[in-house]
Structure 1
Amino acid sequence: MSLFSKYTGAGNDFVIVRGEPLGLRDAGALAATLCPRATGVGVDGLITVRSLSEEVVRLRFFNPDGAEFSTCGNGSRCAARYAVDRGLVPPDHILVTDDGEILARVREDDVALEYALDARVERELRARVGPVERDAWLVRMGTAHLVIPVPSVEVENFDDLCRPLRWREDVGPEGANVHLVAREGGMVFIRSFERGVEGETLACGSGCMAVAFALRTAGEAGDRVEFVARSGSPLIVEFLEAGRIRLAGPAVFIFDGVFPEATP
């Protein structure tokens, strides 16, 4: 039997497994088995963690459909907490992803990541949300993010509204994550439709960074942006010196479990 752990980062939940025991088994097939909410553990994705040294771990990320992707903000925060909980690394350590290295700082349930920012507002466009066409930004930050300001994120039929936006031709052949954002009392409320999950998730760390970058580029936000995720949890994005960005918020252990050796 092989052990997995479930963690949640502000409501964005993941199955995490050690990469070494997994060996040559297909992690994508394992994700497709473990992630579904009706027949599996019920999470937004799977992460493998492999120890590279006493201060460095290597991460890989898989969507519930089994497709691998390059990085994930809340997933990386959960993996950082997992690696510290398992004694693989100290509280301050390095995560290696396909998008580069990330400095992680774990302080019990609070986990912060520091990135070398590689983002750009690719274009401004118009997006129809229900009967209304609104201004929007397409942000490239590893994955494409379609950011749409709205008066309120309390919209009906969220998935149905976002699904055609996720597949717009002008966001690229792989589509985009879709984020509706509304500013209230100094906070930014965000709802996210994530590709690969193909539905709403309760939080999206990379989405918060993309939104913060778009707002800052447009002159509508400063160097610190405070978000309220759909889960109600806070996520904070801060722009640092030398083009770096910090993502901080809660990352919490939920439970351990086992999957049979026969699992792909």
Structure 2
Amino acid sequence: MKFNFTKVEGSGNDFILIDNRKGNISYLTKRVKRKLCSRKKGVGADGILILEKDYNFPFLMRYYNADGGEAEMCGNGARCAALYVYSKGFVSRKFSFRSKSSTHNVEILKANFVKVELPPCEFKRKIRLKIEGKPSDCFFLKVGVPHIVIFTENIEKIDVLTIGKRVRNLKIFGPQGTNVNFVRKDEKNRLTVRTYERGIETETLSCGTGAAASSAVAYRGKMVNSPVYVIPKSGESIKVFFTETKSKLIPYLLAKTHIVFSGTVEV
């Protein structure tokens, strides 16, 4: 089977985007998804974005991690999907689309900056974990997908892979596990964030929902104000805004997004 794809990236988080709104692709197995994401044997990416037909919105975005498993949503992927559809002339600068987690309002700004609304933050609980041999208060929440936020001053030297893998698989997070964010509070409204992503099983250059989750914990703890400037491993800043209601804290991501290239692949 041959099909077209587009390589997209946001803040260093890269994806294979497959536009399947016409329904030409019936099914891709986990094995095929893993092969496509392989940087040795495939196109290479952190995950796959598949755009499906939706009767009420321009598209439904489905997201698959590099291990082939589906996740409820992806923040940087949402920005990339929005820019792609806008670049094809199917939508105006402001529109909405749907993912498995929620409906997302989008605005395409100048120079490929994309602003996207994420699902409301669901604060679960504070958890005491041993990090680098010391007890640490960590914060578990959901921003479409689960995240644990761990504050550290040792952000450059912390062993993200070893600690991230251990925390990601702790039984308290259930069989699906969690994404793990290591966060340092810098000057004013700035955070440095490094993320171990479940389903990719390594540190990524950037994680949009991780940036939102980290900012939400800092914002709720009155460490920062909105907007928050998040610096991920890629060094490309992500701006996180919040709107509040009596019962909800809603995050928005704003950052530059790129369409890298298009191609055809046979699987």
TM-score by structure 2 length? Answer: 0.91
Does 2:162 align with 1:123? no
The match for 2:168 among 144, 166, 169 is 166
1:131 Cα deviation from its structure 2 partner: 2.6
Equivalent-residue separation in structure 1 for 2:214 and 2:192 (angstroms): 11
Equivalent-residue separation in structure 1 for 2:63 and 2:177 (angstroms): 18
The match for 2:84 among 67, 74, 82 is 82
1:101 Cα deviation from its structure 2 partner: 0.7
Equivalent-residue separation in structure 2 for 1:41 and 1:167 (angstroms): 28
The match for 1:151 among 122, 129, 153 is 153
CA deviations on 1:100-142 (whole Å, 9 max, x unpaired) are 110111124200002451x222111222332333221111223
Residue type at the aligned position of 2:237: P
Equivalent-residue separation in structure 2 for 1:85 and 1:39 (angstroms): 29
Q: Is the 8 A contact 1:188 1:228 kept in 2?
A: yes
Gaps spanning 5+ residues in structure 1: where?
A: none
Residue type at the aligned position of 1:188: L
Partner SS, residue 240 of structure 1: strand
Equivalent-residue separation in structure 2 for 1:31 and 1:140 (angstroms): 25
Partner SS, residue 77 of structure 2: helix
* Matched residue count: 260
CA deviations on 1:83-113 (whole Å, 9 max, x unpaired) are 1112222222212111111011112420000
1:21 Cα deviation from its structure 2 partner: 4.9
Moved more, 50-59 or 156-165: 50-59
1:221 Cα deviation from its structure 2 partner: 2.2
Match of residue 62 from structure 1: 64
1:82 Cα deviation from its structure 2 partner: 0.9
Residue type at the aligned position of 2:11: A
Q: Is the 8 A contact 1:28 1:62 kept in 2?
A: no
Partner SS, residue 214 of structure 1: helix
Match of residue 10 from structure 2: 9
CA RMSD of superposed structures (Å)? 1.9
Partner SS, residue 135 of structure 1: strand
1:23 Cα deviation from its structure 2 partner: 2.5
Percent identity, aligned pairs only, is 27
Partner SS, residue 80 of structure 2: helix
Match of residue 253 from structure 2: 247
1:241 Cα deviation from its structure 2 partner: 4.6
Partner SS, residue 76 of structure 2: helix
Equivalent-residue separation in structure 1 for 2:138 and 2:146 (angstroms): 13
Q: Is the 8 A contact 2:23 2:52 kept in 1?
A: no
1:29 Cα deviation from its structure 2 partner: 4.2
1:55 Cα deviation from its structure 2 partner: 6.1
Residue type at the aligned position of 1:251: T
Match of residue 138 from structure 1: 140
Residue type at the aligned position of 1:247: L
Gaps spanning 5+ residues in structure 2: where?
A: none
Match of residue 190 from structure 1: 193
Equivalent-residue separation in structure 1 for 2:90 and 2:236 (angstroms): 27
